[in-house]
Structure 1
Amino acid sequence: MAAPSHRRPRDRKRRTALLPAAAVATVALVIAVALAARPDHRPDEDVRAAATPAATVHPTPTHRKPTATPTRPKAKATKASPTAPPNPPRPSTTATDRPAPATAPLAGRIRPHVTYQGTATFYDAGDGDGACTYGPTDDVMTAAMNTTDYETAKACGAYVRVRAASGAAITVRITNECPAPCAPGQLDLTAQAFAKLAAPSAGQIPITWTLLSPATSDTVSVRYKTGSSAHWCGLQVIGHRNPVARLELRTGSGWRALPRAEYNYFLSEQGTGCGGALRITDIYGERLTADAIALRPDTVQPTGQQFRAHTG
C-alpha cells in the first residue's frame, strides 16, 4: 500500500487532519478486499507495485554519419562527406532474403525486378579509378557500392537506376566499394552524380535503386592482369551490359570456373587455361565464348560480343 501523503492542507491555519486509527484500518481493509476480488490479482502484485519505480523513458538516439566515408580500401583516401541529418531511414534488406527470380538464376544480392531502399552519400572520386580496378575514367556518373551488396566484386560494372524522394533520378555504374560504415542498400555517389539528386548541403538522402540492363553500343572486352603468364593469370571483364556471374577457361578436361578476387579479376592460380579460350556468363545465364584472346597483360581485347538487354 502506498505511503500516506505528507502534503499540508490548504487552509491558512495549516492544521493537520488526523484520522482515527480505526478509520485508517477500515480503509486499508476495503482496498485489500477490492484488490483480492480482481480476477487477475496475484498476492505479490501489491508488494511489487509499491517496490517497483516508474520506468525512465530515454530519448531515441539519433544516427550521426561519420565525418569521413572511405571508399577505396587499401588505396586512395576519399574526402569526407557532409554530416548526415539525424534519423535517416533505416535501409531495407528484405529483398536480399528472397530467392533469385527465375529470369536471373546466377544473380547474387543485386537482382533484377527488385527495388532496394537505402541512402545516398557522395565522395570525391578523384581520377575515377576504384575498387573494381577499371582504371582512370572521365565518367562521373559512377558510384561505390556498400561492401555487403558489393559482394566480392559481383556488383562491379552493374548499372543501377537511383531515385530520390523528390522524384529526381539518375543512372550510375558501379566502379567502387564503400566499406563500413556504409550500410546495406547505401550508395556512395560521385559528387557530380549526387548533385543531380539533391543539393550537396543535404549530405545524405533517402533513395531507392534498381538494377538496369541498359542500351549500349559497346561490346564486352577482357584484360589480362599485369604479371599474368602461363603459370598464373588474372582476367577482367569490361564493358558488359549485365553483371558478370562467371568466367571460365577451357582446359584439357573441360571448362573451369575461376574464383573472383575483390579487386574484380578472375584468377587462375596455377595458370591452368591461361591464354586459351574463355567463356563469360552473366547473371541471366547467357554465355559469350571467345577463342582468340591472347595472353597479353594489361591490354584491353574486345570480344565483339555483348549480352542481351533485359527489361524490368
Structure 2
Amino acid sequence: MQETRQAARQRRHRRRLMVGTTTGLVVAGLLVCLAIVMQPDRKGDAARAAATAVANSEESGLPSSPATKSATPSPSAASASPKVKKSKSKKPKASASPSATPSPASPQKAPGTSSLAGRIRGKVTYPGVATVYKAGVGDGACSYGPSSDMMIAAMNTTDYETSKACGAHILVRAANGATVTVRITNECPLPCAPGQLDLSEQAFAKLAPVSTGRIAITWSLVSPSSAGTISIRYKIGSSPYWCGIQAIGHRNPIARLEVSTGGGWRQLTRTDYNYFLSPNGSGCGKAIRLTDIYGEQLTINGVALRPDVVQSTGVQFARH
C-alpha cells in the first residue's frame, strides 16, 4: 500500500516536471517570436537603401551602378549615323546701284582685270604666216554656225587658247601692204604654229592669189566701228538643270561669262567649242554678265532659256 502511494507521488512529480518544461518551452518560443518581430527588416531596408542610392545618383547626375542600365544611349550609339550640318558660305549680294547693269554708253570696269586678255592683246603686232583653207559655209570650232560674211579665219591652237580667241576681229597685213580684217570662227590645229592664221579662200584672196598658199604676215587685234549688238544662245539640250551659254557678235573678245545665282555672280567655265557651261543648272535662264578683255562689263537681263535660239541683247562693248 505504501509502495502504491509512493509510485503515485512519483507520477505526479513527473507530470509537474513535464508541464513546467512545456510551459518553459512555450514561453521561450513566444520570446523568440517577439524578438524576431521586433528586429528591423534587413532585406527591405537593403532594397530601400539601394533604391534611395539610385534615386540620389539620377538626381545628382552621378553614374549608376554597373548592374543598372542607363536610359540614355552611349555617345557611340548616338553617333553611329551622325548627321553633318554643312555650313554654307555667304555669297556676295549683287549691287543694287545703277552701275550693276551698265549700258554701252556708260561702261562699267571690272575690278582687277588688268590682264584678262591672255595671249592676244590690244595694240600689239604679232608676226606670223597666213595659209588658206576651204571654209565651206563658215562654221568651225567656235560653234557660231554658218557665216554670212566669209571674211573669217582659223586661229592656231596656241593662240586659240581654249576658244578665247573666238569672235576676235584681226587685222592682217601682208608684206605687199595689202590688208584684210577677219573674224576668228575656227581653230587651226597642229602643225599650225603660234602666230599662224589659216584664212578662208575669200579672205586670203584679199592679200595674194589663193594659189600662193602661204605668205608672211603681221596681225593685230582691232575693235571695229560697226559691230551691231551682242546676241546670246543657249546650247541644244539646255534646261534649268544644265546649260551651255554662248555670246555672239561681240566687238571685243570675251574674257568671262557669269550668271546670277540670286545671291551673287558665278563664273562659268569655257569649253574649247566656245560655250560656257553650268553643269548643275546654276543661273540657267537668269541674268548674264559679260566681261571683255579690257575689263568692261555688260549685264544682260531677260534672256529666255530657249535652246539653240539666237536672242539679241541690244548691247555692245565700247571701242578700243
User: Where on the TM-score scale, by shorter chain, does this alignment land: which range?
Assistant: 0.5 to 0.7
Q: Tell me which residue corresponds to 1:131.
A: 141
Q: Tell me which residue corresponds to 1:112.
A: 122
Q: Tell me which residue corresponds to 2:228.
A: 218
Q: Please, which runs of 5 or more residues in structure 1 have no aligned partner? A: 1-101
Q: Tell me which residue corresponds to 2:189.
A: 179
Name the aligned partner's letter for residue 216 of structure 1: S
Q: Tell me which residue corresponds to 1:149.
A: 159
**3-state secondary structure, aligned to 1:136:** coil
Name the aligned partner's letter for residue 152 of structure 1: T
| Pair 1:235-2:242 in alignment | no
State the distance in 1 between where 2:273 and 2:299 align.
23
CA drift of 1:291 comes to 1.5
- For 1:100-127, what per-residue CA distance to the aligned partner results, in whole angstroms no more than 9, with x for missing partners? xx99531010000110000000000011
State the distance in 2 between where 1:247 and 1:121 align.
32
* Higher radius of gyration, 1 or 2: 2
Instruction: Give the paired residue count.
Output: 209
CA contact (8 A) 1:232 1:271 kept: yes
State the distance in 2 between where 1:177 and 1:220 align.
22
- The aligned runs of 1:50-65 (5 Å cut-off) are none
Q: Please, which runs of 5 or more residues in structure 2 have no aligned partner? A: 1-111
CA drift of 1:196 comes to 1.0
- Select the residue among 299, 302, 305 that pairs with 1:295: 305
**3-state secondary structure, aligned to 2:127:** strand
Name the aligned partner's letter for residue 138 of structure 1: S
**3-state secondary structure, aligned to 2:211:** helix
- The aligned runs of 1:248-263 (5 Å cut-off) are 248-263=258-273
Could you tell me the TM-score, scaled by structure 1's length? Answer: 0.66
Q: Tell me which residue corresponds to 1:160.
A: 170
State the distance in 2 between where 1:300 and 1:241 align.
17
CA contact (8 A) 1:104 1:112 kept: no
- Select the residue among 278, 287, 290 that pairs with 1:280: 290
CA drift of 1:203 comes to 1.4
State the distance in 1 between where 2:199 and 2:114 align.
26
- For 1:235-261, what per-residue CA distance to the aligned partner results, in whole angstroms no more than 9, with x for missing partners? 000010000000000113310000000
Distance 1:104 1:210, change over 3 A: farther
Q: Tell me which residue corresponds to 1:308.
A: 318
**3-state secondary structure, aligned to 2:290:** strand
CA contact (8 A) 2:114 2:294 kept: yes
- For 1:175-197, what per-residue CA distance to the aligned partner results, in whole angstroms no more than 9, with x for missing partners? 00000000000000001111111
**3-state secondary structure, aligned to 2:158:** helix
**3-state secondary structure, aligned to 1:193:** helix
- Structure with the bigger percentage of helix: 2
- For 1:31-50, what per-residue CA distance to the aligned partner results, in whole angstroms no more than 9, with x for missing partners? xxxxxxxxxxxxxxxxxxxx
**3-state secondary structure, aligned to 2:203:** helix
Q: Tell me which residue corresponds to 2:179.
A: 169
- Select the residue among 163, 188, 199 that pairs with 1:189: 199
CA drift of 1:199 comes to 1.5
- For 1:196-247, what per-residue CA distance to the aligned partner results, in whole angstroms no more than 9, with x for missing partners? 1111222111000000011115111100001000110000000100000000
State the distance in 1 between where 2:279 and 2:241 align.
8
Distance 1:103 1:274, change over 3 A: closer
State the distance in 1 between where 2:290 and 2:271 align.
16
State the distance in 2 between where 1:209 and 1:167 align.
12
